[in-house]
């Protein structure tokens, strides 16, 4: 039973470059979440999709961040242009109901 | 913003001992969840306790909830090396949004 799959697991890139993070949620889950985890701020919700529609993007830090969910089995989080302060672990999670969220193993992003 | 705050921030125990960590929150909730995060991995859901429940068990885990004090505790009994991880409480800030605390890092020494 496949869990939430994220790619890449690690990304190191230079400031100013475009970064695209990918997520495949668990089949049948209709909710998808993107989080960012840092030591300073902990786990922050960036954006929430329900049935492929963005419902709450109030956590997206700046216009440099964008997220899409073109279908029920795929979502992307894009940062353009990237900055060193974007360095963090980005998690995707999916859920079929409110009782729990299922997290991927994250993408560790380093912007030099 | 983090609604749940875990205490202590870090905990080191001997294998076989029990580990207890606490979570306090600020606003009314419908339910509270506990998650575990192993190093380099995503969060894993452990248990959910509803606001009308006072105690819940799952294997070696025991969770309590005191809505009058706005607090919850997670007890891990007979700890094992594999229990070494960070533990987070999460409260339902809305129908879909979870607010996570900063976590308690538990180290189980062999």
**pLDDT band of B97, cuts 50, 70, 90:** confident
In sequence order, what are the beta bridge partners of B47? B34
Closest CA to A76 of A109, A47, A98: A47
Question: The tokens of A54 are what?
Answer: 């963005």
Question: A55–B96: do the CB atoms touch at under 8 Å?
Answer: yes
**Whether the predicted pLDDT of A71 surpasses 90:** yes
B contacts of A48 (beta carbons < 8 Å): 96-97
What's the first-to-final CA gap in chain A, in angstroms? 36
Q: What is the pLDDT of residue B3?
A: 66
Chain A residues with CB under 8 Å of B41 CB are 105-106
Q: Is A52 helix (H, G, I), strand (E, B) or coil?
A: coil
- What is the rounded average pLDDT of the residues A26-48? 95
Cα three-residue angle A91-B61-B108, rounded to 5 degrees = 75
User: Vertex A80, ends A79 and A84: CA angle to 5°?
Assistant: 70
CA distance B44 to chain A (A): 7
Average pLDDT over residues B60-65: 98
Contact (CB, 8 A) for A91 and A108 = no
Beta bridge partners of B72: B23, B65
Q: Bridge partners of B85? A: B106
- If you average pLDDT over residues A66-79, what whole number do you get? 97
User: Does the pLDDT at position B68 exceed 70?
Assistant: yes
């Amino acid at each position: 039973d496949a869990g939430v799959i994220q790619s890449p697991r690690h990304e190191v890139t230079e400031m100013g470059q475009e970064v695209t993070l990918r997520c495949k949620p668990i089949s049948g889950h209709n909710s998808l979440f993107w989080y960012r985890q840092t030591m300073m701020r902990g786990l922050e919700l960036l954006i929430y999709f329900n049935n492929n529609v963005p419902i709450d993007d109030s956590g997206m830090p700046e216009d440099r961040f964008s997220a899409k969910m073109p279908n029920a089995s795929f979502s992307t989080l894009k940062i353009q242009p990237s900055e060193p302060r974007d360095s963090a672990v980005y998690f995707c999670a999916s859920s079929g109901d409110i009782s729990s969220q299922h997290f991927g193993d994250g993408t560790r992003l380093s912007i030099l | 913003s983090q609604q749940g705050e875990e205490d202590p921030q870090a905990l080191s125990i001997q294998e076989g001992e029990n580990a207890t960590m606490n979570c306090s929150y600020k606003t009314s909730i419908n339910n509270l969840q506990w998650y575990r995060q192993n190093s380099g991995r995503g969060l894993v859901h452990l248990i959910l306790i509803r606001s009308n429940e006072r105690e819940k068990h799952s294997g070696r885990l025991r969770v309590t909830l005191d809505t009058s004090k706005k607090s919850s505790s997670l007890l891990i009994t007979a700890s094992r090396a594999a229990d070494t991880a960070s533990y987070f409480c999460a409260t339902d800030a809305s129908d879909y949004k979870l607010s996570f605390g900063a976590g308690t890092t538990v180290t189980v020494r062999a």
